Amino acid sequence: MAFSSYIRYSFRDAFRSVARHKGIAFASVLTIAISLFILGATLLLVVNSQYLVSTMESEVEIIVFLKTDLERQDSLALQNKIEKIPGFHSLEFIPKEEGLAMLEDRFGKDTDLVKALGGINPLPDAYRVKATGSDKVSFIVAEIEQFSEVESVRYGKELVDKLLAFTTWVRNVGLAVIIGMLLAGLFLITTTIRLTVFTRKKEINIMKYVGAANWFIRIPFFLEGMLIGLLGALLAGLVIYLGYDALISYVIKSVPFVPVVSDHEVLYRILTLLIVGGTAIGALGSVIAVRKYLKV
């Protein structure tokens, strides 16, 4: 048999087998679709969680208060020291005059704090510092506190600790779910193909006895597994695409202050991963299922 004819035969045989066992095939496609949907939803959750954390990280600020008796030139000279700290991202110098003006704005335009304080500005110069990530904040604070020009340092320690804990939790849970769903999909494909192979074991044994090569027997089942995995992935991808689009529109309209990933490029990459992964799991499952019956 010519190779091209055999490929056509293999595809026909794969589709015929799916149609013949349509109940099992439908249940497998549906179950795989659910597994891949959960996998895709988990990936989107992880991506959005990381985006949320990175957005919140950009808002975390370290406020450095300098000593009140420090000369302005010494206050400005501290900038070079801070910029050399590993994990530093950016800073803003806040002179004490600006700090007093900001304080007056909080109390209202009619409040004259300078007059109330007897013409003396008790506020120190300060720096507003940002780190490259929340995991760098504690280190930067520890370094800044060692400078002799610094009186005190304030930052959202509880927020930083919660961000780190949340990021770790999401990554660990997401990884566990992803691995679990991949194994579940592989098990379902293997079980489905094994049932199909079992109903045709006599045919396979006959083919083996007459000298058929293993690859000749394996390819139709290989294509059947790929087909089931692909159908499940396409179904899951369609639901995720439509559902995520609706979710994004709802979030933007209802809670616009919550940051979400609205870039469809990210969604397309996840859908591509699901389709390729579902097809690959189907192929691998068929290889595992057929191997036992090729040992004659």
**pLDDT tens column, 142-152:** 999 999 899 99
The domain of 67 spans 61-155
Based on the fold, state whether residues 51 and 179 are members of the same structural domain. Answer: yes
Based on the fold, state whether residues 48 and 176 are members of the same structural domain. Answer: yes
**pLDDT tens column, 51-89:** 877 777 667 788 999 998 888 898 899 999 999 999 898
Based on the fold, state whether residues 101 and 149 are members of the same structural domain. Answer: yes
Based on the fold, state whether residues 137 and 85 are members of the same structural domain. Answer: yes
Based on the fold, state whether residues 50 and 65 are members of the same structural domain. Answer: no
Q: Which of 155, 173, 208 is the last residue of a domain?
A: 155
Read off the pLDDT band of 293 (50, 70, 90): low
Residue 12 clears pLDDT 80, i.e. is over it? no
| Segment (H or E) for 205 | helix 201-209
**pLDDT tens column, 161-193:** 777 777 778 778 878 877 887 777 677 767 766
Q: Which two tokens stand for residue 295?
A: 């040992």
Q: Which of 117, 136, 155 is the last residue of a domain?
A: 155
User: Distance between CA atoms of 282 and 252, rounded to whole angstroms?
Assistant: 37
Say which CATH number the domain at 74 has: 3.30.70.3040
Based on the fold, state whether residues 75 and 106 are members of the same structural domain. Answer: yes
Q: Which amino acid is at 109?
A: K
Q: Which of 155, 182, 197 is the last residue of a domain?
A: 155
Based on the fold, state whether residues 116 and 136 are members of the same structural domain. Answer: yes
**Pair type for strands 62-66 and 150-155:** antiparallel
